[in-house]
Amino acid sequence: MKNGTRDSALQRLLLSPLALLLVGPVFSARADNYFNPRFLSDDPASVADLSGFEKGLEAPPGTYRVDIYMNDGYITTRDITFDKSANGQQLEPCLTRAQLSSFGVNTLAVPDIVAMKSTACVPFTRLITDASSRFDVGLQRLYLSVPQAFMGRQARGYIAPELWDDGITAGLLNYNYTGSEVRSQQGGVSNYSYLSLQSGLNLGAWRLRDTSTWSYSHGVGVTESQWQHTNTYLERGISSWHSRLTLGDGYTAGDIFDGINFRGVQIASDDNMLPDSQRGFAPVIRGIAQGTAKVSVKQNGYEIYQTTVPPGAFTINDIYAPGTNGDLQVTVVEANGSTQTYTVSYSSVPMLEREGQVKYSLTAGQYRSGNTQQDKPEFLQGTALWGLPHDWTVFGGTQVSNNYDALNIGVGKNLGDLGAISADLTQARATLSDDTQHQGQSLRFLYNKSVNQWGTNLQLLGYRYSTKNFYTLADTAWSRMSGFTVVNQDQSIQIAPQITDFYNLNYSKRGRFQATLTQQMGKTSTMYLTGSQQSYWGTGQSDEQLQLGYNSTIGDISWGMNYSLTKSAWADNKDQQLAFNISIPFSHWMRSDSYSSFKRTNASFNTSSDLKGRDASTAGLYGTLLDDNNLSYSVQTGYANGSNEDVSKTGNTALNYRGPYGNTNIGYSTSEDYSQVYYGLSGGVLAHADGVTFGQPLNDTVVLIKVPGADHVAVENQTGIRTDWRGYAVLPYAVDYRENRIALNTNSLANNIELEDPILSVVPTRGAVVRADFKARVGMKVLMTLNHNDKPVPFGSIASYGEGLAGSIVADDGQVYLTGLSPTGQINVRWGDASNERCTATYSLPAESQALALSYASAECR
C-alpha cells in the first residue's frame, strides 16, 4: 500500500466494524508501509519475506524483456536487467554506455559517464540532470526521460555501431544444381547440367568469398564440360568511415562511370550502414516464354541469375545485380532449343545526396571481364558525391589507365514538385586496339518524378549524347576493333553467336534514351512502360527495347496483359511478344470458413503470340500443400502452333519443396516434338564451432538459430525452416545493420520444452553469421508441492532449478510450477536472506511422467 493512498484506505476500513479489528495489527505505530503476513496466513513464518514489495517494488530484481520508450517515443524491445534502487523502493534499469548511446543519449556530453567502464551500469538518472526512468511491470515497458540538451541528434532508425554484431567464425557453402534431359521424337537425347558453388569464411569482421560454376551439355555427337571461376574477394566493413574495404575481385559503382569488374583493391562508402531515414536499384525483368524455358541473366560477361519458368509471361524481381550499372543480357532458352535474347537497361537514378553527406569510391586494380577477347589494363578510379545546402549535389570522378583518361563533373538538384534532375559531362581520351587515338565528350541528363495525385511514377528518364570519338574504359580493353562478345554458352550447345553479341568499335555509341513509367489506374490496377533506344555513329540503325503492361485485380482475381519488343541495330527484324494471363483462386468459389486444402489452389490461363503466326496457350492449376505451405505444385496443359500453322499439344507439371535442409524441385514437360525432365537441388551449409548445420540457400547475411535440445521447432513466418535434431537452424537472410526480429513458433515445441523467451533481436553487419541463442528448458513440466518441517514452504518463496535459470514464485499450499526438470534432481528454495530461510528439496519423478504434458509431484525441503 502506498503512502498517498493509506488515509483513504483507512477511511474505508473504519466504515465497518471489522476495521476495528484490522487497524491495530496492520498499522502498529509505523511511519513506513508494512504488510502484515497474517493476511495470507495465521502463521507469519509460512509467508516469505515480502519487505521489498512493502517498499513499492512491483516485481523482484532480474532480467525482463521490455519495450523501451525514450521521451515517449518507442525505440526498441530488448532484455534489460533491473536492480533495486538505493532506497529499495523501485527497480532501476542497468544500462551500459553503449545502450544509452543507441537510445540516442549523447553520452560524450557527460564526462562522468565517459569515465565509467563500458560494461558498468550507468546511474544516468543521477548523472544527468532531470533524467528519470519508470518501469511499468504490467505493460512490460521501460520509460526513459532525458532532457533534449543531453540527447544526440540521431536520425530515426539509428542504431549505434557498438550494437552491430560482426558475428561468429564460420564457414559457408551455397550450392545450386539444375539439370534437364530433353528427348526429341526422332530419338535424340540432350542432357544439361549446371552447378553453382559459393563458398566463404567469416573471421571477425573479415569476409572471404569465392564463386565458381560448372556447366555440362551433351547432345548428338557433341559434349561440353567446363568449370569457370567467377570471383574471389576478401572484404570488411569500416564502421567509423561508413565504408567497405574490398581486396580481390569486385565491381565499381555505376553512378558516375559505367560499372566495371576489377581485380585489385577498393574502399567505398557503404550506404547500408546509414539508417533508412538517411538513405537515398536492380531492375524488374519481364518476358514471355512460349513453353517451359530456362532464363539466364548475364552482366559484364558473367551469369548472375538463372531459373526455369513456366509458359506465359514471367517476372523476375529478386535479382541481385553486381553493381549499380551495366546492362543485363537476358536469354530465354525454350525446351525445343529456340532462343530469345534481349537487353534490359540498368543504371542509377539522378545522383542526389543529403546535405552534408559524402559518398565516395577509390579503386585501383586490373580491368576484369568474362570475355577472353578483352585485355586486362590496370586502372585507377575515384568518384565522389557531395550533398550541399538547398538540395544541391555536386559530383565527379576520374579514370586513369595507360590507354585511357577520363574526367567527369556534374550537378544534381531536387526541384521539389517538379522532380529531381542531374546533368554531367565526361571528357575522355582513348587509344583503341588499332592504335588510333580519340578524344570525345559525353553529356548525360537524368530525371525522376512522381505525381502522387495522378498515381504516376516516372522512375527514370535519361538521355546521354556522346560525340563520335567518345569511348569508355571497357572499349579500350578490346583486343580487336570488332567481333563477338560470346565467351561460353552455359548449358546450351550453340553453333553461332547471337546477333546481340556483336560489337564494332568503328560504330561508337551516339545517343541513348531510356524511360521507366508506372501509372496507378484506380486502386487495383497498374500500367507500366519501360523502354530504351541506343543509336550509333555511322549507321541509322539502333538498339530498341520496349516493355508495356497492364496488371489488375478484381476482388481476388488477378489478370494482366504484356507486350514486349526487342530489336538490335545489327538485325533487320524485330522480336515481339503479346501475352495475356489470368489467375483465379479456388477460394473464390468456397466458403470463407472452409479448411479444405483446395483453398490454396489457383486456376490460371496464359496465352501469348509473337505476332508472326506463332501462338501458345496454357491452362492449369497451381498451389501449395503441407502445413507450412512448403510444397508447391503446378499442372498445365495447352497448345502451341508455328508459323506454318502446325499445332502441337503441350503439357507441364512441376513440384517444388522447401525444406529445413534445402530446396528441391522436379518437373516434366512435353509436346508433340519433345519431352523434357528438369530437376534442381539447392541449399546452404554452415560450419561453426558447434558443428555443421544444413539449410536453405544462404544470402550474404545469415542467422544461426540455437535452441539446444529442441528439435523440429519452426521459425515464425518462415517457410520450411525448422531446427535440426540438435536444435540448430539457419535463417538464410537478415538485413544488414538493422534490428532483425527472430521468433520461434511456440506451438511447434514439444511437451518437454519451454523457452525463457521465444523472441530475440540481432543487428548483423554485412556478410555476418550472427547467432540467436535461445535459452530452452528441456525436461518435464511439473506442478510441485514443497513442504518444510511438515508444513508448506512459505508463500512467496523463490524456487529455482538449474544454474543460471530464473526462479518461480511459490503459491498457496507450497505449490510451484517448474519447467525443464530432469527425472531426478534438486530444487533450491529461498524465502529470506538468513541461513535458516532456505532449504533444498530432492525429488524423483516416475518414468511415466515424461510422457505427460504436466506432472504432479511433492517433495520435502530440508
In tens, the pLDDT along 811-837 reads 888 999 988 888 899 999 988 878 888
Interval 790-801 mean pLDDT: 87
Asked if the model's pLDDT at residue 157 lies above 80, the reply is no
pLDDT score for 486: 57
User: Which fold, 779-860?
Assistant: Immunoglobulin-like (2.60.40)
Least confident segment among 169-183, 650-664, 713-727, 798-812: 798-812
Cell (9 digits) for 537: 555513329
Looking at the chain, how many residues does it have?
A: 862
Interval 499-520 mean pLDDT: 84
Which is nearest to 808 in space by CA: 783, 791, 844, 778?
Answer: 783
Q: What percentage of the chain exceeds 70 in pLDDT?
A: 85
Asked if the model's pLDDT at residue 291 lies above 70, the reply is yes
Cell (9 digits) for 539: 549507321
φ, ψ for residue 522 (rounded to 5)? 70, -155
pLDDT score for 369: 84
pLDDT tens, 252-289? Answer: 988 899 999 999 999 999 999 988 767 654 556 778 88
Distance of CA 319 to CAs 10, 299, 304, 323, 839, Å? 72, 11, 8, 12, 63
Asked if the model's pLDDT at residue 9 lies above 60, the reply is no
Asked if the model's pLDDT at residue 299 lies above 90, the reply is no
Interval 288-294 mean pLDDT: 80
Are the C-beta atoms of residues 758 and 728 closer than 8 Å to each other?
Answer: no
At 102, is the pLDDT very low, low, confident or very high (cuts 50, 70, 90)? confident
| DSSP, residue by residue, 621-688 | EEEEESTTS-EEEEEEEEEEE-TT--EEEEEEEEEEEEETTEEEEEEEEEESSEEEEEEEEEEEEEEE
Q: Which residues, 6 or more positions from 670, have their beta carbon under 8 angstroms from its beta carbon? A: 650, 651, 652, 676
At 12, is the pLDDT very low, low, confident or very high (cuts 50, 70, 90)? very low
Cell (9 digits) for 170: 564460420
- The b/e string for 522-548 (b: 16+ C-beta within 10 A; e otherwise) is eeebbbbbbbbbbbbeeeeebbbbbbb
Interval 132-149 mean pLDDT: 86
Q: Assess whether the region 62-154 and the region 779-860 belong to the same CATH fold.
A: no
pLDDT score for 804: 53
Which is nearest to 551 in space by CA: 529, 532, 572?
Answer: 529
Highest mean predicted confidence (pLDDT) among 24-28, 351-355, 523-527: 523-527
In sequence order, the β-bridge partners of residue 546 are 531, 565
At 391, is the pLDDT very low, low, confident or very high (cuts 50, 70, 90)? confident
DSSP annotation of 227 reads: E
Label residue 712 left, alpha or beta by phi (over 0 means left) and psi (-120 to 50 means alpha): left
Please, what is the Cα angle at 372 between 368 and 374, to 5 degrees?
60
Asked if the model's pLDDT at residue 665 lies above 90, the reply is yes
pLDDT score for 461: 79
At 319, is the pLDDT very low, low, confident or very high (cuts 50, 70, 90)? low
At 492, is the pLDDT very low, low, confident or very high (cuts 50, 70, 90)? very low
Q: Which helix (H) or strand (E) holds 821?
A: strand 815-821
Asked if the model's pLDDT at residue 36 lies above 60, the reply is no
pLDDT score for 22: 33
Which CATH architecture is the domain 683-776 placed in? Sandwich (2.60)
Asked if the model's pLDDT at residue 604 lies above 90, the reply is yes
CA dihedral 765→769→773→774, nearest 10 degrees, is: 90
Which CATH architecture is the domain 62-154 placed in? Roll (3.10)
pTM of the model: 0.77
Q: Which residues, 6 or more positions from 800, have their beta carbon under 8 angstroms from its beta carbon? A: 806, 807, 808, 827, 828, 830
Crossing angle (nearest 10°) for helices 3-14 and 17-26: 150
Residue 515 in 3-state DSSP? strand
Q: How many CB atoms lie within 10 A of CB 119?
A: 8
pLDDT score for 239: 92
Interval 367-376 mean pLDDT: 86
Distance of CA 609 to CAs 312, 347, 479, 816, Å? 10, 30, 41, 73
Sign, CA dihedral 813-816-821-827, equals negative
- The b/e string for 9-38 (b: 16+ C-beta within 10 A; e otherwise) is ebeebeeeeeeeebeeebbeeeeebeeebe
The single-letter code of the amino acid at 714 is A
Please, what is the Cα angle at 794 between 790 and 796, to 5 degrees?
155
Please write down the HEC assignment for all residues of 387-400: EECCCEEEEEEEEE
Least confident segment among 43-52, 153-162, 257-266, 465-474: 43-52
Are the C-beta atoms of residues 415 and 390 closer than 8 Å to each other?
Answer: no
- Rounded to the nearest integer, the mean pLDDT of the chain is 83
pLDDT tens, 211-238? Answer: 999 999 988 778 889 898 889 999 999 9
pLDDT score for 195: 95
Distance CA 446, CA 459 (A): 10
- Environment class of 812 (CB within 10 Å of its CB; exposed 0-12, middle 13-18, buried 19+): exposed
- Environment class of 66 (CB within 10 Å of its CB; exposed 0-12, middle 13-18, buried 19+): buried
pLDDT score for 15: 36
Asked if the model's pLDDT at residue 321 lies above 70, the reply is no
At 32, is the pLDDT very low, low, confident or very high (cuts 50, 70, 90)? very low
pLDDT score for 803: 63
Domain ranges of the chain: 3-34, 62-154, 683-776, 779-860
Interval 290-300 mean pLDDT: 79
Residue 377 in 3-state DSSP? coil
pLDDT score for 370: 75
Asked if the model's pLDDT at residue 339 lies above 70, the reply is yes
pLDDT tens, 48-96? Answer: 455 555 555 667 778 888 888 888 777 788 888 888 877 777 888 888 8
Q: Which residues, 6 or more positions from 804, have their beta carbon under 8 angstroms from its beta carbon? A: none
Sign, CA dihedral 361-364-370-375, equals positive
